[in-house]
Structure 1
C-alpha cells in the first residue's frame, strides 16, 4: 500500500488513531506501510545496515508506544514518523561518534601516562570522603536537592516535586549548595 497524496495521508492518519487505541492489526498495516521507508531513511543517516535495522525497529516500537501523541494539526503522519526516525538515527550516530572518541581518548591516555592503581584507589577514597564531609555541611534542603540531582539523576523539576518545594527554591538551593561544595572542596575560582 503506497502513501500517495491526500488518500495515503488519510489512511496513515486513521491507522495512527487505531494504533493509539491499541489496535494491533492497524499497527501491522502501519508497519508494512512505513517500515521499508523508515529503514531507508535511517540507513542513509547511519550507513551501517545492521545498525539501521536496529534503529528502525526502535522507531517502530516508539510509534506503537506513542501513537496517541500524534497531532494532525501539527503535520502529516509521514512527517511525524520520519521526524522520529531521523532523530533516533542522528542520536545513534552521535552516540557512536562519542563512543569512538572516548575509546580513542582512553587509548591515547593509557599510552602516555603510567597508571598506578593503588594510588588511584587511595585518591578516589580520599576524594569521596571529602565530598561526604562537605555534603554534611550543607543545609538539609541543599543536601537533598544536590543528592537527588547529581547522585540520583533527577531533573530540577523532578527534584522540586520530590521535595515538595517550588522550582525556583530548588534552583536557588542547588546553586547555593554547589557554591558551598565548591568552596569546601577548594575547587574552581570564586563566583
Structure 2
C-alpha cells in the first residue's frame, strides 16, 4: 500500500513540477532532502559539499522535472542518485584542486601506487556484480542502505515493510553477499 501511495504522490509532484509549481519543489525538498543530504554527506564528509550536492539535485529536478519518471522508481531514489553523482563530482573537484595547488606550490603530490587503484576497482566491480546477482529480496535493501544511504527506517518505508523486517533482510543480504564474495575468491572483511 505504501508503494502505491508513494507512486501516486510522486506522480502528483511531477505533474505539479511540470507546471512550474514552486510548492511542489518545496514539498519534494521537505520530503527527500534529508535522505539526499545524508547520502551526500557520507560520500563527501563535508557539510558544505553535501549541501551543494543536494542543492544541485533539486535544481536539476526544478529545471528538468520531465527527467523523473515515477514509473521507473521513486522520487527519493531519483534525487538520491543525482545527489550521489554530484557528491562524487565534488570529491573529484576537491582532489583536482589539491593536486593543482600542490603542484603550484612546487611540491609533488604523493599518489597511491597504480596497483592499489587496480585492486580497488576490481574489488568494487566484484561487489557490484555479486550484489547484482542477489535475489531482489536481498539486492534492494543493500542498494537502498549502502548505495543510496538510507537508514533502516527509510529502507523499511521504501520497501513497504516493518523496520524489523528491513533490518532482517539487510542482515541476510549481507550474509549472502559475503558468501558470494568468498565463492568469488575474495577473503572475508
Give the TM-score of the pair, scaled to structure 2: 0.51
Is the Cα contact below 8 Å between 2:7 and 2:70 reproduced in 1?
no
Q: Decide which structure has the larger Cα Rg and report it.
A: 1
Aligned to 2:3: 5
Partner SS for 1:72: coil
Q: 2:44 aligns with which of 40, 43, 46?
A: 46
Work out the CA distance in 1 between the residues paired with 2:35 and 2:96. Answer: 27
The verdict on how the C-alpha distance between 1:78 and 1:20 changes in structure 2, with shifts beyond 3 A counting, is: same
Matches for 1:9-48 after TM superposition, within 5 Å: 9-48=7-46
Aligned to 1:159: none
Runs ≥4 residues deviating over 6 A: none
Work out the CA distance in 2 between the residues paired with 1:9 and 1:74. Answer: 10
Matches for 1:51-130 after TM superposition, within 5 Å: 51-108=49-106
Work out the CA distance in 1 between the residues paired with 2:66 and 2:27. Answer: 17
Query: What is the RMSD computed on CA atoms of the aligned residues?
Result: 1.9
Work out the CA distance in 2 between the residues paired with 1:39 and 1:28. Answer: 15
- Considering Cα pairs closer than 8 Å and 6+ residues apart, tell me whether 1 or 2 has the greater RCO: 2
Partner SS for 2:13: helix
The verdict on how the C-alpha distance between 1:40 and 1:59 changes in structure 2, with shifts beyond 3 A counting, is: same
User: For 1:165-186, what per-residue CA distance to the aligned partner results, in whole angstroms no more than 9, with x for missing partners?
Assistant: xxxxxxxxxxxxxxxxxxxxxx
Partner SS for 2:10: helix
Matches for 1:124-143 after TM superposition, within 5 Å: none
Work out the CA distance in 1 between the residues paired with 2:34 and 2:23. Answer: 18
Is the Cα contact below 8 Å between 2:11 and 2:70 reproduced in 1?
yes
The alignment of Structure 1 onto Structure 2 pairs a total of residues equal to 107
Work out the CA distance in 1 between the residues paired with 2:37 and 2:93. Answer: 19
Is the Cα contact below 8 Å between 1:31 and 1:60 reproduced in 2?
yes
- 40-49 vs 15-24, which moves further: 15-24
Give the TM-score of the pair, scaled to structure 1: 0.51
Matches for 1:150-189 after TM superposition, within 5 Å: none
Work out the CA distance in 2 between the residues paired with 1:6 and 1:94. Answer: 38
